[in-house]
Structure 1
Amino acid sequence: MLNNPADFKVIVFDVFGTLIKAEPKRSPYRKLMKWLKDQGRRPASDDVAVIMSTFGEFTEVAKRFGKDIPAPLLQELNEDLSDDLQAMTLYEDTVTILEKLRQSGFRVALCSNLAKPYGEAVFSILPNLEAYAWSYEVGNIKPEPEIYQYLIDQLNCQPREVLFIGDTLLADVTGPQAFGMSARLIDRKKGQKISDILSDLL
């Protein structure tokens, strides 16, 4: 794996906790899973993976679990989702840093484990980047190698040319490194900024 900053051509970012603030949420998908449990469905270890790898809204997710959502609950879930999406805000340095990286010749991409409505909202906030790898489009979640391969295929580059930035050790550092990328962890809770993580590139 190459770690010389001169080797990097692509900077890939996670989304929540990295570029977008993870504010307190209404968590409609958690509410959906609680309802499924109340209907007698036993929770499974891969429930989150199923949600984030489903190309669809609440009804499609529920069908993956073998249930149909009643209309009142669906309305409630959609209202909670709307509140979540409206609460999404970029970190103060996000736009400036992304633009600075692009002006410096780097290609910039996003790779994130997201349910479909959140991915669509992120795209509307951060459009026109070189590539997007959303778990619900790929059908796999980080740190599964398929999502990193999807990203590489879009970018038509080599893993060694990619630097991955995110706030989760397994998904954003261990997974990318195992795939052949370089990776760096950011801790927004401790006040770190992207410029602190990329000081050698900016």
Structure 2
Amino acid sequence: MISAVILDAFGTAVRIRQRTNPYGALFREGRRQGVALTPNGPHFVMTANLTFDQVAEHLGIELSPSKRTEMKAALGKELASVEPYPDALDAIAKLQEAGVIIGICSNLAQPFGSVIRKAFPHVQYHAFSYELGIMKPTPEIYLALCSEMGVEAGHGNADKGRVVMIGDSRKCDRDGPNGLGIIGYHLDRSDLGQISDLTQFANQIIGHDCAK
């Protein structure tokens, strides 16, 4: 029995139609100013529960009013372009109708969290890196979501059932969960893999016949 499904967000449940890379622009501005930025900048952005302005302030990057307006406009444009994949909406509806609990687990910066929640108002369970301070494939992020959903990682038992996860990253959405006994699957939207869309995946889950 499969009782819960964990979905990755970007590249799996949602897509960004217009990438503006505002944080990349912020880092470039910091380097231009001589700010010593470590290669772990993206990790900091996705594990610090900070607004865009607060990230800049914390890193010591000074932004003129015009530069701040420009970068925040770029961020707003990217956020506005986030949209659910149609098959994600269909899959979530099918799985919830079948009684499967749905959670979303994602590495993302703070401004994107509300966008994901708004895109899937009927999904109540989330594990976002900026809220927990850890990123996939750190085991604790998956375990935190399982705890929130009231399910147990592992191969399950008669009462708890099994937990599965799917996403477009082999490392974070397949191998990471597998190490905990959460059955991970790789989504390949190029049609070159075994699972190419979430409707297909949902049908297999509901039929208890999801093949890796």
Q: Normalized against structure 2, the TM-score is what?
A: 0.85
Among 10, 16, 20, the alignment partner of 2:10 is: 16
Among 114, 122, 126, the alignment partner of 1:120 is: 114
State the shift of 1:66 in Å: 3.3
Among 55, 67, 88, the alignment partner of 2:61 is: 67
- SS of structure 1 residue aligned to 2:10: coil
State the shift of 1:48 in Å: 1.3
- SS of structure 1 residue aligned to 2:84: coil
Cα shift readout 1:50-103 (whole Å, capped 9, x = no counterpart): 110111111222233233433322211110011111211221212111011001
State the shift of 1:39 in Å: 1.6
Deviates more, 1:94-103 or 1:64-73: 64-73
State the shift of 1:146 in Å: 2.2
- Residues 26, 71 of structure 2: 8 Å contact kept: yes
Question: Within 2, Cα distance between the matches of 1:134 and 1:65?
Answer: 22
State the shift of 1:24 in Å: 4.2
Cα shift readout 1:102-158 (whole Å, capped 9, x = no counterpart): 010100010000111111111111113131111110011111122112212211210
Coordinate RMSD, CA, aligned: 1.7
Among 67, 80, 98, the alignment partner of 1:104 is: 98
- SS of structure 1 residue aligned to 2:5: strand
- SS of structure 2 residue aligned to 1:10: strand
State the shift of 1:200 in Å: 2.4
Question: Within 1, Cα distance between the matches of 2:25 and 2:179?
Answer: 34
Unaligned runs of 5+ in 2: 155-161, 207-212
Question: Within 2, Cα distance between the matches of 1:197 and 1:110?
Answer: 15
Among 131, 152, 157, the alignment partner of 2:125 is: 131
Question: Within 1, Cα distance between the matches of 2:43 and 2:140?
Answer: 13
Among 21, 36, 58, the alignment partner of 2:52 is: 58
Residue number in structure 2 paired with 1:141 = 135
- SS of structure 2 residue aligned to 1:56: coil
The 4+ residue runs of structure 1 with deviation greater than 6 A are none
Residue number in structure 1 paired with 2:157 = none
Question: Within 2, Cα distance between the matches of 1:95 and 1:25?
Answer: 22
State the shift of 1:180 in Å: 2.4
Letter in 2 for 1:25: R
Residue number in structure 1 paired with 2:81 = 87
- Residues 9, 104 of structure 2: 8 Å contact kept: yes
Residue number in structure 1 paired with 2:185 = 184
- Residues 58, 74 of structure 1: 8 Å contact kept: no
- Residues 59, 69 of structure 1: 8 Å contact kept: no
Q: Normalized against structure 1, the TM-score is what?
A: 0.89
Question: Within 2, Cα distance between the matches of 1:145 and 1:170?
Answer: 12
- SS of structure 2 residue aligned to 1:64: helix
Question: Within 1, Cα distance between the matches of 2:63 and 2:147?
Answer: 36
